[in-house]
Structures are given as structure tokens and as C-alpha cells.
Structure 1
Amino acid sequence: MYTSPQSEQFHQQVWSKYHLYNSVFITLPFDAIDNTGALLPLFNEACAKGLQQQMTPQAIVTAFATKYLERSDAETVVPLLFRFIQYVERQIVLFDAIEDAAFASLNNLEGTGSLREIKERCDTAERQQHLQEFLQRFRVRTVLTAHPTQFYPGAVLGIITDLTEALRNNDLHQIKQLLAQLGKTRFIKKEKPTPYDEAVSLIWYLENVFYNTTGLILQHLNSTSNTSDFQGQPVIQLGFWQGGDRDGNPFVTPEITGQVAQRLRTSILKCYYTDIRKLKRKLTFTEVDVIVAKIEHQLYRSVFYSQGELYIGLSELIADLQVIKALLIDKHQALYVDEVQELLCKVHTFGFHFATLDIRQNSAIHNQVVAAVVRYLGQPSYLEGDEKSKINQLPAVQGKVESSAFESPIVMQTLASIEVMQTIQNQNGELGCNRYIISNNESALNVLETLAMFRWVGWENPSVDIVPLFESVDDLQQAAAIMEQLYQHPEYREHLERRSKTQTVMLGFSDGTKDGGYLMANWSIFKAKEAITAMSRKYGIEVVFFDGRGGPPARGGGKTHKFYASLGSGIEHKEIQLTVQGQTISSNFGTPDSCRFNLENLVSAGISNGLFAKKENDLTVADQAIIDELAQVGYEKYLSFKNHPQFIPYLEHRSTLNYYAKTNIGSRPAKRKAADQLDFADLRAIPFVGSWSQMKQNVPGFFGVGTALDAFDKVGRWGEVQALYQHSLFFRTLLENSMMALAKSFFPLTQYLQHDPEFGSFWESIHEEFLLTKKLLLKIAGHHELMENYPEGIASIKMREAIVLPLLVIQQFALMQIQQIKQGKGDAAWLDTYEKLVIRSLFGNTNASRNSA
């Protein structure tokens, strides 16, 4: 059988090393573990064979206990299952570290999508001047968010980093020590992290990965395009949500926002101080040494002997570095000038803010705030009008308020979060905090009232971008009309004039998929981008799209850079902005190699689209009509599924949905409202998508796709979708990402539910759609198995699934036990223990999947 070079490389660099070091780990003499390490491989084998024989998880655990344990009662079995979970959690860490260590071997850092490759394309096509001009206006912004899709505490993240380095160096002694340390380190957080705790965890990635990697990329771009510092428009920017994202998180207070901004500034100054210390050892020349010593002293005082005071300003730091650069060139043969230039690139990019802290709040909260403010200002009649009336009356609602004047915490804190934005800008510069995002934006009035709130707190002409976030299918369809209303509104038009005639619009994949299914969400976002682009161009506004992407395809993840490379000329693409969430940070940007690879892929996608695509990615009218039909059929299938009377009960009673709220995984509640009754609209996307992932059903990433393709096949129109797949990168990427969702599904795990008296037929309907989608996606791609064109990707998925199989079976076993107890058929004294078993396995399952929620 043919084995691809990528598969062979994966086998050598990952598979063989994992089995070698796992054999070391599993035989380490841990206290109070007894023979867990010896029993785990046997249990893993029992799970695999049992599921092949269609045994239930309960039957698998019982049969294993009967065969290998002295007793098969709960007192004996359950503690062993907890120990299995502890072992598998650490095996996952080992596998992650081995994959991270092998990243450069498995991925060609100088190949397709790299800056080197794009430079060679430009050189071949003699487009060097075009590249230089494009880089003056193009920008990539990755926005880090701490959405809880990875559950490692800080101590474990540190071990992963050290273990990755030891593996890269094949240091067996160090590896054994770290594995022993790993075995004794707690994985579970006893208390929920605060938003500030989460921010500190994310800032670790800024300091240790993004800072140096971004500097190297920018330096490379400078030399590539023969230009200087990109002073006006840094090609790469960083954004930050933790500490500013108030949507549904009551723990994000204005005080927290201010503390996070302060921490960001301290962190970037520390990074500059470290670089200056290194430069000081090299720049020992006359005149230069004095300036370097002065900068070092000023930064040192600003970081270590400061209560917030700065002893050097940003403009002074830049000016001093430029003087050093000029002296090196003029008097010292340009010795070490590249290092100084790299630091200048960093300073121009990160300023004194490091990453732009975005503020986000829900429009429903704004409605409460506006009502309170207009009553306070003595103009309650405003509230009686319809939307058109309110838009007309809004400029007349004049007056000033202070946040402290209101008793309602939500009103006071929403207004105070605007006040703190001004403080942050004064301390960290405008880029410190200059965007206000409105979740669930449904109208032009939502945007205009947000702008009015800035006026009411006394911030006339705010240096802030108001960013509407469109998420539901209906809102996406209305988005262009809403933007036209804003472009025509005199006060808002004035605001845009002050903001360089640039409007940022955010589009959310997560709630779009939850609302309308995979095909309709992705297609609605694509069409919304085209419509908003056309509307913005009509009014002379440059629109920037900001994509709220998660890790899995169901939340806009997958092969992200391919989506950006596939945009047609009808979509504005001078900037790429996207959220990077949870595990996506550690898996895609967690090491210098992976960070460089993925950042360069995003930059390269933008350059490729801007310089080479012409109109080759444009969809024809016929193409659009086909995708419209497919999306509509998929939408109707998904809606009938979502509206099924068993949809919510199935998630509540047969999945891990209710257990997300019981984990100390993040500061955000699992629901936007604290109601006892589960309201689908208030359910956050992470527990929704994550619950399907825990069951290995991944419904949000494929449901409706098979039915849509089958509709064309049944009426003899398969050739149309086949041709579209061949020539449209957008459509091909859309379906390839759905294949990834299928590849991470595993229905034998829950096949016992087909016999469930309540949910049997519902499970069958999901399984049938899975089989149909798999069959037709393989047919359209001409493949024998899913993701066969990404051999190292599918090899990684298969290996992870094999490692985590015991956790999956344990979780389903515990869920079955819980159901029996609730039906009065089991010992109620064990209910709490089985629920803890579900939660503990939830941690490991999610970490193992990387980007599963």
C-alpha cells in the first residue's frame, strides 16, 4: 500500500516517539497508583473491541472489571476509572508536546503559504513594486480570546513548553523528569479563574511567542519589500478580548478592564527591556552606548519602580532607537543594525499597548442602559417611539451623565466601561482600547445609541470604532441595509469621517451555525460580506471585516487561511481580522514554529488574494445560484432537526451540556441568562458545539450538508456541484472543513442510543445524515477516506482518538449510570461521583481533540 511522505514523516516523528516515551511514562513508579499503568492498555483494547462488537459502555466497563479486577462493584471500579482519566490526560499532554516538537519537520516552513514562497512568486511575476505598495495598506490582526476550550492550568502549560523543548533535543533524562513531574501535577482548577487570571494566561503567549515571532516576520517583510518600518500601518497587529468582553460575563468589570490594560503595558515594556539588555551587550560603541544605557534605565524604572508612571514616552523611545540606527549606519559599518531594526518594528507594532483591548457588550444590555439614561436626562418620551422615530430623536437627547449616578450595576458598569476606555487611551495610546463591539446587533439604532452613550458620558468625538456584530441568519441578511442606514446618517457619517472613512464589521460564525446550520451560516456570511462591501464602496467607506472564528469548522475554524485566499473581488480584503480562541491559540500559535507558520499563512493569503487572484476566485451567477440552493436545502433540514421536540431534551439528558456550567474552566457562565429553564437562544456556542463534540457526533459541522448534496444528486444535477467543487476554492474549502468535522466523529461510541426508547429514532436521524454526508463528500472529492489529501492531519486525528478512547467510554458509562439513577434504578448515593466522572473526562476529551469547541 502506498504511504505518502507526510504519513511516513508523521510515523517517524510522532507515532514512534509517542509509543517510546509513553512506554517510559506508563511504567513510572507513581505513589498510590497501583497497577493503573498496566491495566490502561488492556482497558483501551477492551473499549476498541467492545465498540466493534456493539457493546454498550456499561457492558464494556463491567466485562473489563469482571475479567481483570478482583471485584466489579462501584467501590472498586470507579476509583480505577478516575485513575485512568488521570493517566490519559497526561498521555494527551505527551502527544501534544511531541507534535509541537515535530512541527517544523511535519510542516514546510519555507513552502506554500510562507513569506519566502510569496516573495518568489512576486519576483517571478516582477511584482515587487506591487508587493511593496500592498504591504503599506494591508494588515493582519489576530485577536486572542480566552473562551474556555482548553482546560490546562498554568503549571501544566509550563510543563508542555519544557517537555516540547526536551523532546526537540531528544534529552531523555529531562523527558523522564518532566513526565514524572507531569504525573504529580494537578490538572484540575479548584476555583474558577477570574477574567484577570485568564488575561494573564493569554499574555504569556504574547510575551513568549507572538512578540519575537511577529518581530521576525516584520523584519523579513521589511527586507523582502525593501521598505522601512511600516510606521503608519503595522502589517501584523494583535487584539485582546479578555478583560474587555463583557457580553454575558458579569465578572468583567471596568476595574478588571483597567487592570488588564495596565498588565498589557507592563508586559510589553518588559519585553522591550529584555531586548535592550541584549542589545546593550552588543552596542558598546561610542555615543551609541550612552543612548542604550539611558533607554535601559528608563524602561527599568517604568517596569519595576513605577506605580503606573512612565519614565520614557513612546515617541522618545522610537526617536532614540532611530538615532542608534543612524549612528550604526554612519559610524559603525551598520554592525547589529538588523537587531535594532527588528526592535523598531516591534515598537511600531506593539506601542505601549501590546494588543488592542476590545470592549464588547450585548445590544440587549444597551437597551437597558439607554432606557435608564434617557429617563435620568428627563426625556422618557424617547422610549415610546418606534425605531425610525428614535433614530430621528436621538441627536436631541442631550446631557451629560456619570456612571456613578446610577444604582443599577449593569447600567453603571456599562457606562464605566466607556469611561475606562478613555483612561486606557491616555495611558497606553489610542490603540490601547479603541473598539467597542455590539453583540447581537439587529439594527442601525443599536449602533447609533452606542455612539450616543459616548456622548452622554462626556466623550465628544470619541477616538473609537463602533463595531456591529452580525450573527444570526436574519441579521446577516439585513446587515447591508443596516450599514446603508448608518452611512446615510449625518452624525454617524461625521464619526466615520473622523475615523478615516473606515468601518469595521464583525461577523460571527458560532451563533450563525447554531442558528442556521453549517452551510447556511457560512454562505450567509459570504453573501453579507459581498453586500456590505458593495454598500460601503457605494458610499466611499472602506469596510474591514472581523471574523469571530472558533477552533472547529462548526465555528469558522478549520483551514482558515484557505478561506481568506478564496475571497473574490466582491469582498473587501485589505485586512484580515479574526479571533483566535482557546485551544486554537496553543495548537496554532503556541510555539514559535507554529505561530510563524500560521501568521505567515494569513499574511500570504492576503497578499495572494490582493496581488494574484484577479477575479479567478469570483463566483459566477450560476455558481451563486447553486450554493444558494444547497444552503437553502441544508437550512431547511437543519431547522427541522433543531425544531424537533427531542432536540433540546437530547442535549440535556444524553450529552454533557449541563456539565459545562459545573466546571471551573473559565470565568464566563455557560448561558447568557441565569434562568433555570434551558433557552436555546441564550445557550453559548461553546457548550453547544462542545457537547456534540464530546459525544463524537459533531452535528454543527455537517448536518444538512449531505441532504443538500443528495438533493442535486437525486435530480441528475450532480455534475453541477462536482464542477463547482473543482473550480471554486471557497466551495472546496467549505466542504473540506466539513470533512474534518466528520473525521472527528465516531458514532460507534453512542450506537447504544439507537435502542433508547426515548431517543432511538432521533439518534438514527443524526447517524443517517452523517452517513449520507460522508458518502457524498467522498464522492465529490474522489476520495476513499476522509481527509486523505491531508495525510498528516488525519493521522493526528486517528492517533488522538485512539489515545482518548478510554475517556470517551468512561464518560458515556457515567452518563448511562446517571440516567439509571435518575430513573430510580441505581444507587442515588453515587450520583455526585458519576457526575464528577463526566466532568473529569470532559476536560481530557476536549484537550485531546484540540479545537473541538
Structure 2
Amino acid sequence: MVERLTSSPADAAPSGSGPAAEDPLDRETELLSELLGEVVEEQEGAELWDAVRGLHADAAAIRAGDEEAAERLIAGLRQSSDAALAPFIRACAMQLALANIAEGRERVRERRRYDGEVGGQRESLAEAAHSLRDEDPRRVAALASELEVELVLTAHPTEARRRSILNHQRHIAAALEIVQDDRLSASEREEARGQIRETLALWWQTDAVRRLRLRVEDEVQNVLFFFEAVLFDAVPALCAEVARRLGGDPAAVATPVRFGSWAGGDMDGNPAVDPDGFLPTLEAHRRLALRLLRDRVSALALSYSQGADHLPAGLPLLTSLERDAHELPRAAGAMGSRLRAEPLRLKLNFVEWRLANTLEPGDDPGYGSPQELAADLELVRASTGSSDVSNGAITALLRQVACFGFHLARLDARQSAGPLRDAAAALLPGLAGADEETRQRLLTEALLSSEAGAGEASEAGDEVERVLQTFEALARAGVRFGPEALDTLVVSMVERASDVLCALWLAQRSGATHLRVTPLLETVDDLDRAEGTLEALYANPAYREHLDARSGAQDLMLGYSDSAKDASFLASQWALYRAQEKLAAQAETHGVTLRFFHGRGGSPSRGGGLSHAAILAQPPDTVHGRIRITVQGETISARYSDRQLALRSLEQTVAAVMLGTASPPARAEGAFREEMEAIAGRSRAAYHALVNADEDFMPFLTQITPLNELAGLNIGSRPAYRGGAQDIEGLRAIPWVFAWTQNRLVLPSWYGAGVALAEG
């Protein structure tokens, strides 16, 4: 079984023994640990759980300064076989995950405690409203109604947990709510304890790591899980909170947030994402959106029991019902005359029938657009004869239609500039080997030519052919699903204006004219060149046509992970700050509405940390109520695994954008800027000397972090290296950061800063 790993279990406080903890967090942590212990003892024997308890005793002794405890613990671990350590590590990992569940519930309790207090919880909408209490209420309400926050969920492989385990954790959190509810009977609470034990047993018997590498379609389903389980119903609650706190119209259906996704669309260095996958991914989005809307309409129909005699007479509703009966004779026949006395329920049944036809097209008509659905629901809302009813579930449903439509989340396509350059060069004579000025001229002429679709690759390689197939697939996606489902092509590793023009021309020649091109600036050098790159684009007549067709709107993505890997965290952050200042001023000069797209991750070295503070730290005049932000990997489950946690995260982001717009920070000036330039330079030099110039660094990296082991785990579809080159330059930023996170050294978050600050 388990070799002797730690001190005697007699030295450890047994789980669940002694007086019950008064603090709810401590009480729930102890309860979950106790139930886990019962399951582990049943599955593996008491010796294993005794070893886990002994570990806690030794850890406490180590914290108290007992050096012998540290030696004893290390010796015990070294003497144990891998076979013995595997279940031991598994038990410890599950115990930590259960502690996270308890802490998540504590965050929910904290949110509830602050509700109603003057000033509200820190970083909440209530606090934002309190901070803006001296502003004109009409201005505050107007700003709130114009917010455009888009959160883009990615499939970056930093979430190692399987969807099955995430489901088990959600079930445990829900059952824990019942166990701790003193209003329920003892038998009800004991039943919930049994449900937790059952779920823990299922979790223990579930493989922690997938046996097969994650497929792209699995990544798509993992992202969709959070929409179905949490986000779809969190959005209307957020809208209600915005209206309540910031003085908006309680009947307004406009939502301050939208969602996007990269799962199934991120081709950058990932051969598993191919052109054939766009349509199935968008279809999966569409089917889930329609199913969720149909389910909500069905639930609403069950509750809308109002009789015709108690409703205001309305010709529009009667006319609509006559049209429904004429267009949907099978539905009318199925419902018969039983619902004629309940016109709103009848109308909602017709709506549900149309949604079913939209989901599974047949002979009967469905909805051609979300706007048609919204019009029917608005008709129902206008016919309720009660403000309480009209501002209730029907408004929540209209907000879901406004936010999610029939597409659920906008899918972005992403590809690196390199393959796009190669494809354009294979098609456009003279482009290969040309200097930048010539490249821009040739691409501009091609874009403005009436024969922009001409040009065939004489000897196209597989990679070029793949790029061409990609744009053809994007064109088909635009026709089939519309621009609201997929309208963005993110071009990563943009170094010059011609990179963007290549993407624009390839889109145009393929008929994918609905695409807007979003340059992604990933290295510090690219950020420093960004002003010149954008200046060339804004002055380009072909690109100007592209902007004018989109009312002058331009998205620009900023890469946090790659810029930090390239130059150090401190140098990267300063480069991002400076670039945003310049680019925002430049856009205003050219009459361009610029929206920054922040490619932030979960850890500080990927731009993570506190979203609220990060948004408020953006340079003045760079937010303007609109922002796009990635939500990556493990951050998705941390923020959106629970409805209350999701609401907290969403309101933190919305509140920060609101404050950053209404009351932006002061501009960095003078001596501060000079000192930051010097500090960033020293930090970059120190970082480069270790990471890039020291030939021993790569072997050191693979020995001190589980980089190679992580590459072998089945947690994502994307390779760890770009182009197969297994060196520091080819290593992707995300596995780089993820590897350092595992040993808790998190070197990318701090290295270079100490030297830079000390020398200052």
C-alpha cells in the first residue's frame, strides 16, 4: 500500500475531530476534507488517509520552524515508490481542489454580505456608482447604456482539469449549499452529505488526465459548457444590476457584455484547427443558443397563465396569433382550442414551435434572425398589462436574445502573419522578395483592382493551399451564419503594414469581405513599431475603404504573453502602456474608433492578476467604454464555474470599464516616464542575458520545470513549439508560463525587475 511518508497520524489532528469551526469557510473546508477522507479510506484503505493527515502535521511543524519535520517529510517521500506516491498525490490534489470550492463559496457569501451596504463591495457596480455619485446621473446612465465589453474565451491548454471533473466539482458545491442550510431538516442535509460522498467517489475513480489528446471539437464543447451551465443565465442578472446601480432603464434589453471564442478558430501554429472545422464549430454554437432559448421560452410559457379577460385588449397580439396559426397549421392543430383563453401562453407556444423549426429546419417556418424572435417577445412583453411581469422573466429572456442571439459567442479566426505572407506571395506576382514599400504598393493595387479575385498559385505548397482553403471556408461561414457569428480575423505576429494588407487581400479574393482584420502585436519591438505600422494602414486608400465600410472601427490586439516572454514582464508592461497612448492619439487624429483587444492570461506574466485594477491602470483616453479581453484556460473555470462567481467577475470588469471611462486616471508625465524608460531597459537587458544569451538556460528550464512532461499531457490540441523548433525562441509563451507556474517559481513574472529597480 503506502510506505511510511510522514509522522504518525497520532500527531495529526484528525479530520472532523474536535469542536466544530465557527467560521463558515473553515467549517466547510473541514467537512469536505472529512468526507474525502471517508471516501479515500473506503477506496484505498486507512493508511493512505493517515499519510495525508501526517503530511499536514509535518507541514504545520515546518511552518513552526521544526527542521526535523522537513527532513522527515523529504526522506519519506524519497523512500516511496511511484506506485505509492500516485494515490497520495491524488488525495492531496483533491483536498486542495475541495479547499478551492469552499473558498469560492466564501466569495459568494462575501458578495451577499456587502449587498445593500453604502459603497458596496470593493470593485463592484455598487462601489462604481458610489464613486460616481457626484456625476450627472443622466451622463452615468448614458455611459452605462453604451458600454461594449467583449470577453473572448480561449482554449489555451492551461486548464488541465477534465470537463467530467469540473462537473463533479460543480455538483459538490451545489450539495454543500444544502448541507450548510440550517433551514432544512437534518435528513435533507444528510442526504446532501451522501450526494457529496457519492460525487467524491466518482471523482476518485475518474482519470485525472485524459487518456487521449484533446481534439478541437472537445475544446469547443468545453467552452460551450460554461455558456450552458452559467453564463447564459448570468447575463440578464448582470444587466439588472447595471440598471439598478447605474440608473439605467429597468426595461432596457441592451447588454454591456458580449462573448467571443477562439476554440475551433485559432489556427496559429495549431494544425489540428483546419478549414473544415469552422462550419461545425459555428453550428455547435448555433444549436446550443437555439436550444437554450427554446428551453427558456418553454419555461416562460408554463408560467404565463394569464387569461384573456385579465389582459389589455391588443390588436397587434391578435393579428400576430392569426399569422402564427396560418403559417404554422401543424402547431395550431396540435394546440387546438385549449389555449385560446390564454393568448400569451398561446403566443409563447408558437414562439417555441418556431425556435424548434429554426433548430431543425423543415417545412414550417422558423426565425430568420434573432431580431424576428425579439419582435415576437417584445409583443408578449407589451401585452402583459403589468410592469412587474413585463420587467421580469420576459425582459431577462430579451436580454439573452440581445447578448447571445443565435450565435451564442462570436468565433474569431486567428492565423500567424507568416503563412499569410507566403500565400499572398504565391498568388501575387512580384510580391515575393519585394521590399516593404513595393509590397504595400502591389497589395494596394490588387485590393483596388476590379480583378482582385484573380490570381492562382502555380505551385502552391500544402501550407499555401491550407491558407486558401481557410479563406474559402471563412467566406462560406459568413454566408451561412452571418457576420455576428464570425467577423474577425486576428493576424498574429504582425511586423509591418503589408502583413495586414496580405490578410485583407486574401479575404477579398476569397469573398470573405465580411471579415475585419485585427492586427496582433506580440513582441516589444512590434509594439515599438506599431505607430508606424498603423500610420501606413490609415493612409492606405484600400485599407481606408475597409475601415469606412465598418464606420471607422478598428480593433487592435495587444499580446501580453509573448511580449513578456520576449522582453521581461516589466519591460513588456511599459511597452504596452506607451503603445496604447500613442495608438489612441493617432486613431483620434485619423478619425478611427479604436478598440483595444487585450490578450491577457491568468498569471501575472501573461497580463493576468486583478482585472479590475488592470483596466483602471490603462492609459487615459484608451478605454472609452469599449474593450475586448481574452479569458484563457484555467481562468475560465475560476471565474465562470458558478453563477454568483460569474456575476462577481462580470461586474468587476464592467465596473472597471465604467470607471475608466467616466473618471480616467492621470497621465504619466515627466520624471516618472524617464525613470520607467530606464527601468524597463535595464529589466530587458537582465532578462535577455539569462533567457536568450545563456546557452545553459534551456537545459535548466527543462530540468527545473515539467515543460516536457506538460507537452505530453492530453490537455490541449496545440503543439508547445512554433514550427517544430524546440528552442527558447520556438517555445510558445503559454506553455512557457504554464511550466513555470507548476513549480511556483513563476520566473517570467519577476525576473529582471529586481536588477532594474536596484540599479535605479
Cα deviation for residue 499 of structure 1 reads 0.9
Match of 2:165 in 1: 156
Match of 1:385 in 2: 434
SS in structure 1 at match of 2:121: coil
In structure 2, distance between residues paired with 1:221 and 1:157: 29
SS in structure 2 at match of 1:36: helix
SS in structure 1 at match of 2:268: coil
Match of 1:525 in 2: 576
Cα deviation for residue 432 of structure 1 reads 0.4
Unaligned runs of 5+ in 1: 1-9, 67-71, 713-853
In structure 1, distance between residues paired with 2:363 and 2:472: 21
Cα contact 1:239–1:358 (8 A) shared by 2: yes
1:651 to 685, 697, 701: 701
In structure 1, distance between residues paired with 2:197 and 2:566: 48
Cα deviation for residue 596 of structure 1 reads 0.7
In structure 2, distance between residues paired with 1:65 and 1:598: 39
In structure 1, distance between residues paired with 2:460 and 2:532: 37
- Please list the CA deviations of residues 794-822 of structure 1 after superposition, one character each: whole Å capped at 9, or x if unmatched: xxxxxxxxxxxxxxxxxxxxxxxxxxxxx
Amino acid in the other structure paired with 2:417: S
- Please list the CA deviations of residues 418-440 of structure 1 after superposition, one character each: whole Å capped at 9, or x if unmatched: 23333333333311000100111
Q: TM-score, normalised by structure 2?
A: 0.84
Cα deviation for residue 654 of structure 1 reads 3.1
Match of 1:268 in 2: 289
Amino acid in the other structure paired with 1:686: I
Match of 1:368 in 2: 422
Amino acid in the other structure paired with 1:702: W
Q: How does 1:346-745 map to 2 (within 5 A)?
A: 346-374=400-428, 379=429, 381-397=430-446, 398-400=451-453, 408-459=461-512, 462-613=513-664, 616-642=665-691, 643-675=693-725, 678-712=726-760
Cα deviation for residue 49 of structure 1 reads 6.3
Amino acid in the other structure paired with 1:128: P
SS in structure 2 at match of 1:203: helix
Cα deviation for residue 565 of structure 1 reads 1.5
Alignment of 1:130 onto 2:139: yes
1:300 to 356, 365, 383: 356
Match of 2:29 in 1: 18
In structure 2, distance between residues paired with 1:206 and 1:638: 40
In structure 2, distance between residues paired with 1:318 and 1:135: 22
In structure 2, distance between residues paired with 1:118 and 1:429: 36
Pick closer, same or farther for the CA change 1:587–1:444 going to 2, 3 Å. same
Match of 1:832 in 2: none
Aligned residues: 679
Cα deviation for residue 229 of structure 1 reads 7.0
1:192 to 213, 216, 227: 213
In structure 2, distance between residues paired with 1:447 and 1:502: 15
Alignment of 1:253 onto 2:255: no
- Please list the CA deviations of residues 652-709 of structure 1 after superposition, one character each: whole Å capped at 9, or x if unmatched: 233211112211111111112224xx22122111221122222221111111222222
SS in structure 2 at match of 1:384: coil
Cα contact 1:402–1:457 (8 A) shared by 2: no
In structure 2, distance between residues paired with 1:689 and 1:307: 53
Alignment of 1:117 onto 2:127: yes
Pick closer, same or farther for the CA change 1:499–1:333 going to 2, 3 Å. closer
Cα deviation for residue 455 of structure 1 reads 1.8
Cα deviation for residue 112 of structure 1 reads 2.8
Cα contact 2:426–2:432 (8 A) shared by 1: no
In structure 1, distance between residues paired with 2:275 and 2:298: 35
Cα contact 1:403–1:412 (8 A) shared by 2: no
Match of 1:84 in 2: 88
Q: How does 1:225-244 map to 2 (within 5 A)?
A: 225-227=247-249, 234-244=255-265
SS in structure 1 at match of 2:740: helix
Pick closer, same or farther for the CA change 1:188–1:40 going to 2, 3 Å. same
Cα contact 2:58–2:69 (8 A) shared by 1: no
Cα contact 1:403–1:411 (8 A) shared by 2: no
Cα contact 2:209–2:713 (8 A) shared by 1: no
Cα deviation for residue 176 of structure 1 reads 2.2
In structure 2, distance between residues paired with 1:148 and 1:533: 32
SS in structure 2 at match of 1:382: coil
Pick closer, same or farther for the CA change 1:60–1:426 going to 2, 3 Å. farther
- Taking only the aligned residue pairs, the percentage that are identical comes to 26
Alignment of 1:39 onto 2:51: yes
In structure 1, distance between residues paired with 2:61 and 2:638: 31
Match of 1:282 in 2: 303
Cα contact 2:680–2:756 (8 A) shared by 1: yes
SS in structure 2 at match of 1:507: strand
Q: TM-score, normalised by structure 1?
A: 0.75
Cα contact 2:228–2:292 (8 A) shared by 1: yes
The structure with the greater share of residues assigned to helix is 1
Pick closer, same or farther for the CA change 1:309–1:207 going to 2, 3 Å. farther
Pick closer, same or farther for the CA change 1:406–1:115 going to 2, 3 Å. farther
Out of 651-660 and 551-560, give the one that drifted further.
651-660
Unaligned runs of 5+ in 2: 1-20, 180-191, 309-342
Q: RMSD across aligned C-alpha pairs, in angstroms?
A: 2.7
In structure 2, distance between residues paired with 1:499 and 1:215: 28
In structure 2, distance between residues paired with 1:89 and 1:365: 42
In structure 1, distance between residues paired with 2:479 and 2:423: 25
Alignment of 1:99 onto 2:103: yes
In structure 2, distance between residues paired with 1:145 and 1:335: 37
